[in-house]
Structure 1
Amino acid sequence: MRTASRRRIPITWSLPRGSKDGDQQWKMHTSFNWAQSVMISSQPFSRSLTAMEVPTSHSLPLPTFKHAYSSIQSYVDENTCYALRHALLEIDKEAYALGNDSENPEKYHLIGCTAVVTLIKDKKLYCANIADSRAIASVSGHAIQLSIEHKPTDPVEYERVINHKGNMKGYVENGRINGNLAVPRAIGDFYYKNNMEGPPYDRIVCAWADITVRTLTDDWEFLVMACDGIWDVMTNAEVVEFVRNRFAQHLEPRRIAQDLLYTCLAPDTSMGGLGADNMTIEIIALLNGRSFDEFCEKCATEPAENCPPQMQFYDESFANRIGMNLKY
């Protein structure tokens, strides 16, 4: 167990199955990594939740996801990319309202959150990402990165930050927003969203998700969704090899997640550095009609010599703004 002046609270939110009219079914997994500027205790863990749960040491309110779930239900059949992006903006909107109603709005507005979402529908896998969490897939033993990460030095982020027209001047110093924040997109961090009357994509820090879409085949084996504390220590290929080898031993995803977390965790976290950051992970086995034992036997086979060709569609986030001018 460790403490810090700015810690992140790992939360995973899973909607195992949903449907608007009973015909179209979909599965969604979401990982959030909330950060607050207060002293709390944290332990690495991995969970799949059907409802919001937070550690008892956390004293500030977090969104309930009620409006986000309604957005998914309303739009997922018509425009899945819109539904995901709209749902994440609804979470940001709810967090803003909660902060304004809290006893200490100034402290609440220093809380931030990354998000990575995967949604499976009609043999398509949609991945939405805000900030620097990451989702990868194992495809015939090869690591495929699904999410698009955001850094302040990225050209599109840098231009938005320095050209911001709000009351606060935006700049990038030492790879950080205004010399402080390490990510240019986030849920929360309202201190950097002082232009709340403008569109949600036009802020120093915005909660606007990038989305990729890929076609699922029987070659797809599992997904790993994790925050940067994992990826600072292990590469995509190393994580896929680690998880795949343990599936080959017929270990459950929860056990594999625990093993991976403790492998990444530094033996001494008092000095910071690699393995001392917060860690959140979720592992999703894609059974594709197989039993779990059959799935594990597939993971026991040698990786394919070459990764099977992947069909990818990228939803250009800042070019698809219709209907997204949420005011909050």
Structure 2
Amino acid sequence: MQVFDGHGGPEAAAYVRKNVDRFFFEDANFPPTSEVNDVFLEGVENSVRKAFLLADLALADDSGVSSSSGTTALTALIFGRTLMVANAGDCRAVLCRKGQAVDMSQDHRPSYPLERRRVEELGGFVDDGYLNGVLSVTRALGDWDMKFPRGSASPLIAEPEFRQVVLTEEDEFLIIGCDGIWDVMSSQQAVSLVRRGLRRHDDPEQSARDLVMEALRLNTFDNLTVIVICFSSPDQFEPTPPRQRKLRCCSLSVEALCSLRSFLDNNGNR
């Protein structure tokens, strides 16, 4: 499952989407189906990383793709009970665990301290939240007009970050979406909305549409792409713990207490 979010024109996102199978699964070293263990997962991670970088180089070589066009990319893979997410850019994967949001990716934005430090160490700068005053992400495929020549360390990179988790019976569904969703709602807000919807209609496609409509209602200004993947039936969802109401205390003056006592003694009659 992949989500791509293009910028600087649609060419880069369309190209990667069209060729995604070639980049990801035609690698002769892609681990064959076998026992899911640490060695297997390490092999998958290496192959996926290579696929991101190959796609990035292919964008540089294709004359039909503008050098100013780029795309963020997020891939979610499931092997047995292991969920692996690879991300370059500001798309986001969020796991619902017993109604609680668990982020499975980090938004690669210039404001993120680790990314800002990496950018500045490689000669880039952040201006008003933008990489080199131009781009709102620090990792992307394409955008070759902003990257140093091949073989040089560039502030803008296509290298993905990985997160893994072993799925359990507590894990209900996964949301993957582009930043148009996350610009206007938190991970927890998205999870809660989808969870309520699945309880009503048990339709992940409808839940994805619900997220898009809610983002539009909240006046998002960016692209909207979202996928919802269910791991269990909504009738197996544990009830969301009720919110505990905060106790509020107040104090009364002696005069007010006397007035209240008089009121009660007279059975509320004046």
TM range (shorter): 0.7 to 0.9
Given that 1:140 and 1:304 are in contact with CA atoms closer than 8 Å, whether structure 2 keeps it comes out as: no
Task: Compare the two structures and name the one with the higher helix fraction.
Answer: 2
- Confirm or deny that 1:265 pairs with 2:210: no
Residue of structure 2 in register with 1:192 after alignment: 146
Which residue of 206, 228, 236 maps to 1:298?
236
Look up the equivalent residue of 2:129 and give its one-letter code. G
Residue of structure 2 in register with 1:249 after alignment: 200
Structure 1's 258 and 193: CA in aligned 2 closer, same or farther, altered over 3 A? same
Q: Secondary structure at the match of 1:71?
A: coil
Residue of structure 2 in register with 1:32 after alignment: 4
Please report how far the alpha carbon of residue 233 of structure 1 lies from its aligned counterpart in structure 2 after TM superposition.
1.4
Query: After superposition, where does 1:163-312 map in structure 2 within 5 Å?
Result: 163-164=121-122, 170-198=124-152, 202-266=153-217, 274-287=219-232, 295-299=233-237, 301-303=238-240
User: What RMSD over aligned residues (CA atoms) do the two structures have, in Å?
Assistant: 2.4
Please report how far the alpha carbon of residue 160 of structure 1 lies from its aligned counterpart in structure 2 after TM superposition.
3.2
- Could you list the per-position Cα deviations for residues 115-151 of structure 1 after superposition, in whole angstroms to 9, with x for gaps in the alignment? 1111111311111111111100111111111112212
- Could you list the per-position Cα deviations for residues 236-286 of structure 1 after superposition, in whole angstroms to 9, with x for gaps in the alignment? 11111111111111331111111221121148xxxxxx4122111010011
d(CA) in 1 for partners of 2:202, 2:96: 16
Pairs aligned (count)? 231
Structure 1's 116 and 59: CA in aligned 2 closer, same or farther, altered over 3 A? closer
Please report how far the alpha carbon of residue 61 of structure 1 lies from its aligned counterpart in structure 2 after TM superposition.
6.2
Look up the equivalent residue of 2:45 and give its one-letter code. C
TM-score by length of 1: 0.65
Given that 1:160 and 1:203 are in contact with CA atoms closer than 8 Å, whether structure 2 keeps it comes out as: no
- Confirm or deny that 1:86 pairs with 2:50: yes
Residue of structure 1 in register with 2:267 after alignment: none
Structure 1's 283 and 203: CA in aligned 2 closer, same or farther, altered over 3 A? same
Given that 1:116 and 1:128 are in contact with CA atoms closer than 8 Å, whether structure 2 keeps it comes out as: yes
- Could you list the per-position Cα deviations for residues 129-178 of structure 1 after superposition, in whole angstroms to 9, with x for gaps in the alignment? 111111001111111111122122334323332333xxxx6221111111
d(CA) in 2 for partners of 1:194, 1:254: 41
Q: Based on CA coordinates, which of the two structures has the bigger radius of gyration?
A: 2
Which residue of 77, 82, 103 maps to 1:145?
103
Residue of structure 1 in register with 2:74 after alignment: 116
Residue of structure 2 in register with 1:67 after alignment: 23
Structure 1's 92 and 59: CA in aligned 2 closer, same or farther, altered over 3 A? closer
- Could you list the per-position Cα deviations for residues 10-64 of structure 1 after superposition, in whole angstroms to 9, with x for gaps in the alignment? xxxxxxxxxxxxxxxxxxx1111112348xxxxxxxxxxxxxxxxxxx7996131
Structure 1's 183 and 215: CA in aligned 2 closer, same or farther, altered over 3 A? same
Unaligned runs of 5+ in 1: 1-28, 39-57, 268-273, 288-294, 306-328
Structure 1 residue ranges, 4+ long, deviating more than 4 angstroms after superposition = 58-61
Residue of structure 2 in register with 1:19 after alignment: none
d(CA) in 2 for partners of 1:140, 1:73: 37
Look up the equivalent residue of 1:296 and give its one-letter code. P
d(CA) in 1 for partners of 2:112, 2:234: 39
Structure 1's 296 and 209: CA in aligned 2 closer, same or farther, altered over 3 A? same
d(CA) in 2 for partners of 1:183, 1:304: 36
Q: Secondary structure at the match of 2:55?
A: helix
